[in-house]
Each structure stands twice: as C-alpha cells, then as structure tokens.
Homo-oligomer: A and B are copies of this chain.
C-alpha cells in the first residue's frame, strides 16, 4: 500500500536495496560465511592506529560538521586546498548528494551498462533518466560515454577508474585526453574508490579546480574502513561548497573522522595492504587457471573471473560458491555477467575459495 501523501517521485520508486548484504544472506542460509569475498571490503583491515583513534574518541560529542582536521590532512596529502575537498558518509552518501544537486525529473545521466547500481539508484531516486553505453572489451568506454552525454545533453556522466565490477582501468593520460570530448554542461563523476590499488599514473593529472570533473575517494577499500563510512570528493571549490546546500552537516560519525585521519597518517600500513592485495590477486588468478578459467587484469582489490560461458552459467557457479560458504558477487549485465567477482582475501579465505570452486563448477556443469 503506497502512502497517498508521498511525493509523485517517491510514490513511483520501488522499496529496493541496490545490494543484499551478506548478513541477510547468512540469516537466510542460517549459517555464517566462511569467506567474505563479495563486497570488496579489505579483509586485511585498517591500520592498528585506526582502532586506537576510534576508541579514544569522545563518542558523546557530535562530530565536527566541517570535518576540519580530516580535510586539512587530506589537503596536505594531495597537495591541494581544503576548499577542494568535501568529506561525506562514504562515496555512496556523496553520490546521493551529487544526484540531488544536479538531477531533476527529466534530466539525463550517463553511465555504463552494468556499472555501479547505487549510483543508478540515486539518479532514479531524484527522477533522472539513465542512459547507458556498453562496456568495450570489459572496459568502460570514455569516448562512448561522453558521446552519449553529448547526444542526451546529460547533466552527469559516471565513470569508475579503476572500474567496478570488472577491475579494469584506463591510464590517466588516456582519460585526460578523452576529457576534451566531454560536452559543456556535463559533469564527470569520476569514481576513484579503487585508485589506491591501481598502478601509478592511473589517476589523471587534472587540477582540483577543473570544473568538468568531481573525483570520489574512499577509506572503505584499501584503507580497510568500509564500516566507518568515510569518503571524500575532490572538485572545484564552488562545486564543493554546493554540498553545503543539501548535506547532513552533522552526519559524520566522530570516531570515523578520527579513524580516517589515523589511517591517512599510516601510509606504511597502506603499502603493506597493497602488497597483500597484489599477492591475493595473483593467487585468485592461479586458482582460476587451476580450474581452467581465466581472469581479467585488475587494478582493484578484487578479480573478475571469466567463467567462459553465459550469465546463467556464471550465476550457477556463484550460487555453488555461496552454498559452500563463500560470499561473492557478479556483474549484472551481459556480457560482463559471464564473470564472477572475487575480493582479495587472506590465505585462509582463498584456501576456502580454492576448495569450493571446483565443486561449484561441477555443479554448474550439471554435476
């Protein structure tokens, strides 16, 4: 029963969840997963300094609505001004604010078919019309995205580099050149959630005050703080200030603010995590090959394994893994949904995955 008092947009929206959480799946199967490899969390965890900083926080105090200390530290880290940085409740929260600022009913927004569903959720939530372009050889295609933006006079175009769910990436120079064809009036939302684990040169060399682009970064991936909800946007100062029109000013968790600051200050821990990610990527590739499968190159903390057939087959493999206690996910759209997506895990996690995969494949092959 829809409440008759809802706005027309709200009434038209489904009560949907972009992703079902692993806890809900565990409740449904009445058993905990043995390996949590589905949400691209960092099982390697945050710096030990994060827990110290969080536990020392006076949680009875509201967080600083200006996120002053964290923004100052991020500005120093990136050698930009704090006026170019907006801290928010994860990239998800920031994407919601961006959609709210730019998307009114009838506005067009461009993304890749099968890219991040939560971005699409926010765009639809404000009445926007999504336009999609297919991946090109499992890469997001900047030229095609920007051409579609021009064709549809899009307000926003979304591009993740490195990409989720495929793990592929473009080098920064390629992206920077592609920007020449971004139409005037379109803002590029460049999701760099996975940039920390990407090769040097993947982040395009564009100034923070470039009004064409807003970049999204996070402490949820390589920094190991997904549960803390700390993301930030880098963009031109007037655009950054526009978040103050709509954001939940006191929305940041105070311990998360302190934890993110501590995480940023422990770059040695980040470096060690990046080594563990690299080791895990190699191991996942090895496990795939041991089972006659191939993987896509990855600049992220996960690897897409090509199951070699169609989406139904990959879904059967995925179901077989989940039935065996391995939480994983897969791309939504064809032909990328021939793959399953495995987050980098510990040696134990990947042992469990290696043990389960042959059985899941056998099931999918009809036993």
A binding-site residues for B, Cβ under 8 Å: 1-10, 13-19, 21, 23-24, 27, 36, 39, 41-46, 50-51, 54-55, 57-66, 68, 89-90, 92-93, 96, 100-104, 107, 118, 125, 155, 185-187, 211, 220, 224-229, 238-239, 241-242, 244-246, 248-256, 259
Contacts and interface: CB of A to CB of B under 8 A. Distances in A.
Contact of A251 (B62, B92, B103): B92
Nearest to A39: B62
A15 B66 contact: no
A125 B251 contact: no
B24 A42 contact: no
B225 A60 contact: yes
For this chain, the copies found in one complex come to: 2
A34 to B, nearest CB: 15
Contacts of A65: 17, 19, 21, 24
A190 to B, nearest CB: 16
A227 B43 contact: no
A263 B111 CA distance: 42
B58 A227 contact: yes
A234 B60 CA distance: 23
B41 A61 contact: yes
A61 B345 CA distance: 13
A272 to B, nearest CB: 14
B246 A10 contact: yes
A186 B4 CA distance: 10
The 8 closest A-B pairs by CB, nearest first: A227-B254, A15-B244, A13-B245, A23-B64, A7-B104, A59-B227, A60-B224, A253-B253
Contacts of A63: 227, 229
A256 B253 contact: yes
A225 B59 CA distance: 5
Contact of A55 (B21, B55, B229): B55
A152 to B, nearest CB: 14
Contacts of A27: 68
